[in-house]
Amino acid sequence: MSPTTVSTTPPARDIEFWFDFGSNYSYLSVMRIEAEAAARGVRILWRPFLLGPIFRALGFDNSPFVLQKEKGAYVWKDMERQCRKYGIALTRPSVFPRAALLAMRVALLGTEREWIAAFCREIMQQNFVHDRDIGSVEVVSEALVTLGLPAQQIVEEAQSDANKLRLREQTEAAAAKGIFGAPTFFAGDEMFWGNDRLEDALDFCYSSPC
């Protein structure tokens, strides 16, 4: 009788991915995270939340990239470099940060549905490639139709009082976890902030009991 083979490969772990569609660095992570997570056997827990209330609680009435001219100029040059590095298209949005409340509500619905990643990529591209109003019913519906989904039904469900409340609660949960920007990742209780920490977060999650 042959001896039992014991696998030394760690079990798949979970990573929480907190993001906002108006966030330029969240755009980079949305476009990259699936492949990076799959390569490490890590499952993504999608956590859409609203950055606006977080910023206001910190005393900002807009994105720091808008409030600080020099930082804003640097960020868009950095985005150009990062997009070239990853082979991701970029058009600087004519409105930044762009409100995306409806799209965020739809994403919240999608967190436990198979279309979440594809929807997030489509919305991000509409914002950061096609420069379209991702807060509008038209653009959100088009994105859903492109994915072969029942747009009217999903939009109506996203606009329900219950789902609106869920997004407010999700944003409050982000604040309670100490989140101050996006994207933010959690590997267990360990927090990682910024697209440039995506690989670190995934590696930590893979090697630790997340």
How high is the mean pLDDT of the chain? 91
- Please report the pLDDT score of residue 7 as a whole number: 42
Residue 88 has pLDDT above 80, yes or no: yes
CA distance 14 to 40: 11
pLDDT by residue (tens digit) across 112-145?
899 999 999 999 999 999 999 999 999 999 999 9
Provide the H-helix boundaries in 58-197: 64-67, 69-86, 101-110, 116-128, 137-146, 151-158, 161-176
pLDDT by residue (tens digit) across 2-26?
454 444 445 558 999 999 999 999 9
pLDDT by residue (tens digit) across 153-176?
999 999 999 999 999 999 999 999
- The number of C-alpha atoms within 13 Å of 198 and in the hemisphere containing its C-beta is 24
Residue 149 has pLDDT above 70, yes or no: yes
Superfamily of domain 14-207: Glutaredoxin (3.40.30.10)
Say how many C-beta atoms besides its own lie within 10 A of residue 178's C-beta.
9
Enter the tokens of residue 53.
Answer: 């209330």
- What's this model's pTM, rounded to 2 decimal places? 0.91
* Residue that the structure tokens 């755009």 belong to: 27
| DSSP state letter for 11 | P
CA distance 139 to 61: 26
- The number of C-alpha atoms within 13 Å of 98 and in the hemisphere containing its C-beta is 26
